[in-house]
Amino acid sequence: MKRSYLKMRRKALQKTLEDIAYDIGISYNYLLNIENGHQGDKASFMLMVKIARAYQVTVDEFYHLEYLYQKEKGVLKDYD
């Protein structure tokens, strides 16, 4: 399951995967795997902050979008 919210934001910024990967300081392939949902489910807080900055969103907004993604993917469960 892809993180479409990241790709849509990147396209809105008119940036390439290479641009964002450079801004974050990670490889193109690693970022591609994050956007495609193959990696990143347990990324460090510092990586998440760098991703949020590169995509020009607040950390709060990024974590909210990632929470929704993880919940839809079935990684997170409601315990209410």
The topology under which CATH files domain 4-73 is 434 Repressor (Amino-terminal Domain) (1.10.260)
Check pLDDT > 90 for residue 73. no
Report the distance separating Cα 3 and Cα 7, nearest Å.
Answer: 7
Q: What is the mean pLDDT of residues 13-23?
A: 98
**pLDDT beyond 70 at 34:** yes
**Mean pLDDT rounded to a whole number for the chain:** 92
Helix (H) or strand (E) holding 44: none
Give the containing element (helix H, strand E) for 43: none
- Segment 15-38 shows an average pLDDT of 96
Measured CA angle at 68 (ends 21, 50), to 5 deg: 25
pTM to 2 decimals? 0.84
Position 27 pLDDT exceeds 80: yes
Task: Tell me: pLDDT of 18 over 90.
Answer: yes
- For the chain, the domains span 4-73
Which helix (H) or strand (E) covers residue 29, if one does? helix 28-35
